[in-house]
Amino acid sequence: MLRIHFNDADLARTRLAPAPDPLFEVAASMHRLQSSRGRWAYAGWYRAARRDLREQGLERALRSVLLPLYPRAAYYPDFLTPSSGVEGLEAGLEALLATPAERVAEEVGMLDRLIGAPGWAGRLGEQGVRREFVGVLRAYYGAVVVPHQDRIQARIEAERAVRGRGLLHGGVEGMLAGLGSMFRWCPPVLEVAYPRQTQDRDLYLNGRGLTLVPSYFNWGEPVAFADPGLPPVLWYSLLHEPAARPLREEDPERSLANLLGRARAVALRVAAGGATTGEIARAAGVSASAASRHATVLRDAGLLTTVRHGPAVLHTLTPAGAAVLRAARGAAGDAGPLS
State the span(s) of the chain assigned CATH 1.10.10.10: 252-338
Neighbouring C-alpha atoms within 13 Å toward the C-beta of 16: 21
Does the pLDDT of residue 254 top 50, yes or no? Answer: no
Does the pLDDT of residue 6 top 50, yes or no? Answer: yes
Higher pLDDT, 326 or 177: 177
- Residues whose CB is less than 8 angstroms from the CB of residue 214 and which lie 6 or more positions away in sequence, other chains included: 16, 17, 20, 155, 156, 159, 160, 163, 235, 236, 237, 238
Report the largest interatomic distance among the alpha carbons of the chain, rounded to a whole angstrom.
Answer: 66
The percentage of the chain sitting over the pLDDT mark of 70, rounded to a whole number, equals 88
Does the pLDDT of residue 232 top 90, yes or no? Answer: yes
- Determine which helix (DSSP H) or strand (DSSP E) holds 307, and give its type and residue range: strand 304-309
Lowest mean pLDDT of 1-15, 100-114, 321-335, name the range.
321-335
- The 183-186 sheet, strands edge to edge: 183-186, 189-192, 2-5, 201-204
Grade residue 262 by pLDDT with cuts at 50, 70 and 90.
Answer: confident
Q: Which residues pair with 276 in a beta bridge?
A: 314
| DSSP annotation of 72 | S
| DSSP annotation of 66 | I
Grade residue 243 by pLDDT with cuts at 50, 70 and 90.
Answer: very low
Q: Summarize the confidence of residues 264-273 as an average pLDDT.
A: 84
- Tell me the whole-structure pTM to 2 decimals: 0.75
CATH architecture assignment, domain 252-338: Orthogonal Bundle (1.10)
Q: Summarize the confidence of residues 192-213 as an average pLDDT.
A: 88
pLDDT of residue 339: 36
Grade residue 239 by pLDDT with cuts at 50, 70 and 90.
Answer: confident
Q: Summarize the confidence of residues 239-262 as an average pLDDT.
A: 49
Q: Which residues pair with 307 in a beta bridge?
A: 314
The percentage of the chain sitting over the pLDDT mark of 90, rounded to a whole number, equals 52
Closest CA to 183 of 194, 191, 174: 191
Grade residue 282 by pLDDT with cuts at 50, 70 and 90.
Answer: confident
Closest CA to 235 of 36, 25, 7: 25
Mean pLDDT of the chain: 86
Q: Summarize the confidence of residues 74-87 as an average pLDDT.
A: 93
Cα separation, 270 vs 260, whole angstroms: 16
* Cβ atoms of 96 and 69 closer than 8 Å: no
First to last CA, the chain: 49
pLDDT of residue 102: 96
